[in-house]
């Protein structure tokens, strides 16, 4: 008699440990997400695991709503809003075991990149574009001329009169990027996606 109610109790408690069996890592990744009504908004991931993520967003949505997000360096994820907080929400990540393994590897790389400051290493050869001038568009819509000091597949150093805060999302030419470092002449930016030499010349 005493054993019969125990089984459903254990079953009801399974989902909570299942959600938390993945360790969350702090990352700084930009992207966009879509609500069920197909409206899209920008977002920034502040921490993530293969089972869930916390996003800073201009619109929080409602608990239980289905979310599809496209994240730089990660790709497409989908899930439901599990918690709403000031300035954003937490969501589950619905994925197969294989997809979760891939996410775990991507998150390890992103976390180590932040710790080791990899955006500013010299893994990718730097060059000066044929036309070393372009335009920068800031989040408030301001557009200004800049000079490209050097550029690689993963980022660029640009001479600019203003110094947007670290992490600020900008557009350089036609490429999405974010500010990762300040220096005397301007800022260093990291591209949202890897570029080829032809793409750089065409998009600047």
Output the tens digit of pLDDT for each of the chain's 204 residues: 444 444 444 333 334 444 445 678 888 788 889 999 988 888 888 889 999 999 988 888 899 999 999 888 788 899 999 999 888 899 999 999 888 888 888 888 777 765 444 444 444 567 777 888 999 999 888 999 999 988 888 888 999 989 888 888 899 998 888 888 888 888 989 888 777 777 887 887
Report the chain's C-alpha Rg in angstroms: 20
DSSP state of 22: S
Please tell me the predicted confidence (pLDDT) of residue 124: 57
Quick check: pTM over 0.85?
A: no
- E-strand stretches of the chain: 25-34, 40-49, 52-56, 66-71, 75-85, 88-92, 133-137, 143-151, 155-159, 169-172, 175-182, 186-191
CATH number of 6-116: 2.40.10.220
Please tell me the predicted confidence (pLDDT) of residue 84: 92
Q: From CA 43, how far away is CA 31, in angstroms rounded? A: 5
Q: Hey, is 173 helix, strand or coil?
A: coil
Please tell me the predicted confidence (pLDDT) of residue 122: 45
């Amino acid at each position: 008699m005493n054993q019969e109610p125990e089984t459903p109790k254990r079953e009801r408690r399974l989902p909570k440990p299942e959600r938390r069996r993945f360790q969350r890592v702090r990352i700084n990744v930009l992207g966009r997400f879509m609500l069920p009504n197909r409206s899209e908004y920008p977002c920034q991931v502040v921490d993530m695991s293969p089972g869930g993520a916390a996003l800073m967003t201009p619109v929080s949505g409602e608990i239980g709503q289905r979310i599809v997000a496209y994240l730089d360096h990660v790709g497409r994820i989908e899930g439901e809003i599990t918690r709403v907080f000031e300035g954003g929400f937490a969501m589950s990540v619905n994925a197969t075991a294989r997809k979760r393994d891939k996410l775990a590897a991507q998150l390890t790389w992103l976390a180590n990149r932040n710790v080791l400051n990899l955006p500013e290493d010299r893994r990718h050869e730097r060059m000066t574009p044929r036309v070393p001038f372009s335009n920068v568009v800031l989040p408030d819509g301001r557009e200004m001329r800049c000079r490209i000091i050097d550029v690689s597949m993963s980022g660029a150093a640009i001479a600019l009169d203003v110094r947007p805060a670290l992490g600020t999302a900008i557009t350089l030419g036609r490429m999405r990027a974010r500010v990762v470092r300040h220096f005397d002449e301007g800022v260093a930016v990291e591209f949202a996606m890897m570029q080829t030499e032809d793409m750089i010349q065409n998009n600047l």
